[in-house]
Structure 1
Amino acid sequence: MAKIKGAVVVDTEECKGCNLCVVACPTQTLSLNRNVNGKGYNFSYMENPDSCIGCSNCSLVCPDSCITVYRVKTA
């Protein structure tokens, strides 16, 4: 059976660092970056990209719709 590998792309300039996506992630893939964006917010990023299962929970809870999730089947 094929496994699903996910990838999260965050629009770092639109992210407000609300932390909702980090809390919603069941595999602790996401975290807030220590760096800030142009608006002064710590933006979300994939701290553990190998653990992403592509569930899209982060995208669903994002109030600003700045997260896109991609899924790829692996052998």
Structure 2
Amino acid sequence: MAKAKGAIVVDIEKCKGCSVCVSACPAQVINLAAEVNDKGYHYAYMENPDNCIGCANCGVVCPDTCITVYRAKPVTA
């Protein structure tokens, strides 16, 4: 059975770098950037995008609702 493929989009200006999403990700996809946003926070980003399964854990736990999760259905032959 093929794994689902996912992706996230982070609103980097809303992200406060709390890293709750980093801890919630079972596939270790998310990390905090070395760069900072306009407010001076290290924002979340997809460090390992190929590992994302689209589980939406990160979006659910984000206290500022700045993560949108997308999931593609697996293609079966």
TM-score by length of 2: 0.93
Give the distance between the partners of 2:56 and 2:74, measured in 1 at CA.
Answer: 18
Partner residue, 2:7: 7
- Where do 4+ consecutive residues of structure 1 move more than 2 Å? none
Question: How far apart, CA to CA, are the structure 2 residues paired with 1:29 and 1:50?
Answer: 8
Deviation at 1:74, TM superposition (A): 3.0
- Superposition deviation, residue 2 in structure 1: 4.7
Does 2:67 align with 1:61?
Answer: no
- Find the aligned partners of 1:2 and 1:29 in 2 and give their Cα distance: 18
Structure 2 residue 35 is the aligned partner of structure 1 residue 24: no
RMSD of Structure 2 on Structure 1 (CA): 0.9
TM-score (structure 1 length as normaliser):
0.95
> Which structure has the greater CA radius of gyration?
2
2:59 partner amino acid: S
Aligned residue runs from structure 1 range 28-67, under 5 A? 28-67=28-67
Distance (Å, rounded) in 1 between the aligned partners of 2:61 and 2:2:
27
Alpha-carbon displacement from aligned partner over 1:2-35 (angstroms, at most 9, x marks no partner): 5310001000000000000000000100000000
Question: 5+ unaligned residues in a row in structure 1: which ranges?
Answer: none
Aligned counterparts of 1:3 and 1:42: Cα–Cα separation in 2:
30
Distance 1:10 1:72 in 2: 18
Q: Percent identity?
A: 65
Task: Write 1 or 2 for the structure with the bigger share of strand.
Answer: 1
Aligned to 1:63, what secondary structure does the other structure show? Answer: coil
